[in-house]
Chains A and B, each alone.
Chain A
Amino acid sequence: MSVIEAPKESFRLSQLIYDTRYRSMTIQVITLALICVGIYWLVDNLLANLDNLGLEPDFGFLSSRAGYDIGQTLIEYDNSMSHGRAALVGIANTLLVAVMGCVTATIIGVLAGVLRLSKNWVISRLMAFYVEGIRNVPLLLWIVLVYAVMSEGMPQPKDFREGGDAVMFFSDSVAITNRGIYIPGPIWGENSGILIAVFIASIIGAFAYRRYAKKLLFDTGRLLPMVWPAIAMAFVPVIVAQFVLGQPVTLSYPELGGFNFKGGIQISNPLVALWIALSLYTGAFIAEIVRAGIMAVSNGQSEAAFALGMQPNRTMSLVVLPQAMRVIIPPLISQFLNLTKNSSLAIAVGYPDVRATLGGITLNQTGRALECMLLLGLFYLALSLIISFVMNLYNNSMKLKER
């Protein structure tokens, strides 16, 4: 049998296109070259434009005096501090509304999603109405609408005087006015550090107890009561400590003085409007995600659980929900991200978030549009990446362990 000689390898230029071994390389080199040319063009234009304007990229403005006041400051700030500090105040405000929104949106969404699957005709229709109605109207409209309800529809502080027609809720501790919502605020007295330490320790204790009870259940089959002891362990010690230490933490109640309420905590209208609108809006999306997740668990799973003699609520918590969670968590992460990014709509109601401080007043005062927008974009990008990284870690720990 004669051996056919392999044709001699000689490189021809057309191989760069027709030979799959080289073609992907060719395409990548061309793409890279085009991108480089494009970036060069943009940067070149940028430098030429900046040169014309007599500007050069400089972040020194961050340490110069800001000179403007911010309506809501979670960290210490006054107008003699720097622009960088003002940006930090804005970041804190953004994070505040994002966290508040994520918590309430999850609660609303889970409730609405589960109730929409309810056999109760009225409640499932009501939830369908809520979800479809909210989802199909722009978030911006909800924000301005809630803001208008808060500032136009709520009573003025003077209506709370004797003879006025407005009343406070929860035995005179909460007042909803057109300037914001006033709630009681804690006053941290002496020894309140001990109280906080006791509280943290008892929460850790409660989780340790749950863990122990679960381990006992899986190892020996003995079922300890889990819910009530855990709640008691978390809250009883701190209440006892509060009285033993002579009430270190007291509440200050909002009281009407002059034209406005004093004392307690004021939650300003922009924050309330943004918070409620973001929660309702994202809650509608989360409701759909939860519904889809529960429906994705096949009927056979719960039927099998019933066949094993499990109670309906244990079937839900031990069989259906753990499987539904795997479907729910990834889109839930992206909803949290969306909520965080949507919090930049604060601009509609004048809530002082990072867009309003760094990307608003600072930008206008210093004229450093390029630097401000760059920092703003980087902040949101970093926040998104961190949230998705953390949630992906959680997701990986929940994922089905396949072999």
Chain B
Amino acid sequence: MDNATAQNPSYVREEMLAQAEPPLGQKGAIKWLRDNLFSSVLNSILTIVSIWFVYYILSHIAPWFLNSIWDAGSLTECREIRDATMPAGTSAACFAVISDRWEQLLFGFYPRSEYWRPVLALVLMVVGIMPVLFQSIDRKWLVASASLPFVLFFLLWGGSVWLPIAIAMGFVLGYAVNKFGTPMLGSIGGALATVIVPLLYWIYVAGPLSGAIHSVLPIGLEFIQSKDFGGFMLSIVIGVAGIVLSLPLGIVLALGRQSDMFIVNKLSTAFIEVIRGVPLIVWLFTASLLLNYFLPPGTNFDLMLRVIIMVTLFSAAYIAEVVRGGLAALPSGQYEGANSLGLDYWQSMRLIILPQALKISIPGIVNTFIGLFKDTTLVVFIGLLDPIGLTNSIRSSTDWNGIYWELYVFIGLMFFIFCFSMGRYSLYLERKLQREHR
């Protein structure tokens, strides 16, 4: 013992120690592994079991994928290539069916020379919904988006260019009547005229007018029948039409169900419950088997249009329930506040209630849309050729008899991409509209 410590046993370190590294088990990968994977016996078992499970699945599927054959004319050719180039017993996917038949899976029996039309329509649609989806784009582009349905209709079905223009003119007419007629006729007369004049125009004038112009100035595209539509194009057409039409209808139904007016309330409730209580497949059969019974004798309109109507009504009922949830979730102070400002019903709905209620119901609405898009596959049962229906017709050719997994993987992947991106968009929107400060 040296002198200094003997005299003054208390000891104070005079310089700081250098910071020590944490022990090996408390840092980096080991700590992460310990915390996340092996924190307890149960957790360790779960980890090992799930890793084994993943390995088991991958060990069966990965070789099948990695050995896949993309260039062959038929399933037998695929098998010959596999047996010739790979050791016996190797499994190999035959994605040649996709490279052989991808056009059919995407477009159905749409004429090959006209493929540019659905492709252009898709591009226009994606560009056109941008102003709706993202608020940072100038609002005046919304007018261009509003003209989109007519452009898309013309591109997909073709026929005379004047028919969609004549129909679109009905809306312009209605707007003009509303703008110039209201000062003359008063607000009620103006509102009535806004509804009645375009209706009369569509029923009596639009058809002959477009026919007359077309006979003078025939501009148009080759007319394509609905029965030639197929594949993902069909799913997207039905899905998008259903989405666009069912949102406003759903909101109106939700408002009807929340309304104080007895008759409106009961009618909306009955409609929603009846539609929701019965599976979509039964509604689709109704559309294909029964709808003609309820129309004037001799009418026969397009099966695809009937399907779109049914799908729209079906998802509108679901959207109505989602929006009703949003309306009910708003504190009643919001309704009272709107009333005390002297806003009338539609003003308070438009300016105060719906913006908040719709914000709350975005996840539900998008989920309904995803469901609708997935449900478009059910049209196979009434004879339309959606992707799953096309797998049957591809399999019925002698070349591809007996091929299952490759087609299912492809279709599943396509649906996954669409639905997953819709889901991500709803998350983005939810975060962006988040007004609560946390």
Give the B-binding residues of A (Cβ under 8 A).
17, 24, 27-28, 31-32, 35, 42, 45-46, 48-50, 52, 115, 118-123, 126, 132-133, 135-141, 144-145, 148, 152, 341-342, 344-345, 347-348, 355, 359, 363, 369-370, 373, 376-377, 380-381, 383-385
Contact = CB atoms under 8 A, between A and B. Distances in A.
A377 B420 CA distance: 32
Contacts of B37: 120-122
B377 interface: yes
9 contacts: A120-B46, A122-B46, A122-B54, A141-B388, A141-B412, A359-B285, A377-B278, A381-B273, A384-B278
A381 B278 CA distance: 5
A140 B264 contact: no
Interface string B376-416: 01101100000010010000000000001100100110011
Given A119-B39, A138-B377, A140-B388, A28 B278 contact: no
B388 A373 contact: no
Contacts of A35: 267
A383 B278 CA distance: 9
A45 B295 contact: yes
Nearest to A385: B277
Contacts of B264: 27-28, 31
Interface residues of B, number: 56
Nearest to A144: B388
A31 B259 CA distance: 13
A140 B260 CA distance: 40
Given A31-B267, A148-B408, A17 B374 contact: no
B341 to A, nearest CB: 16
B408 A122 contact: no
Contacts of A152: 404
A122 B286 contact: no
Secondary structure call for the A interface: helix
A120 B412 contact: no
A27 to B, nearest CB: 6
Given A140-B377, A148-B408, A359-B285, A344 B46 contact: no
Contacts of A46: 293-294
B296 interface: yes
B47 interface: yes
B289 interface: yes
B361 to A, nearest CB: 14
Contacts of B296: 45, 48
Secondary structure call for the B interface: helix
A373 B51 contact: no
A48 B411 contact: no
Contact of B293 (A148, A370, A377, A385): A370
Given A45-B297, A136-B419, A137-B412, A28 B261 contact: yes
A384 B278 CA distance: 8
A126 B50 contact: yes
A137 B290 CA distance: 30
A28 B286 contact: no
A136 B297 contact: no
Contact of A373 (B39, B282, B297, B391): B282
A118 B411 CA distance: 32
B127 interface: no
A123 B289 contact: no
B370 A136 contact: yes
A49 B282 contact: no
B263 interface: yes
B68 interface: no
B274 A381 contact: yes
Nearest to A132: B420
A1 B296 CA distance: 70
A126 B48 CA distance: 13
B80 interface: no
Nearest to B296: A45
Contact of B419 (A52, A137, A345): A137
A383 B374 CA distance: 24
Given A17-B188, A122-B51, A381-B277, A136 B423 contact: yes
Contacts of A345: 281, 378
A32 B270 CA distance: 14
B415 A126 contact: no
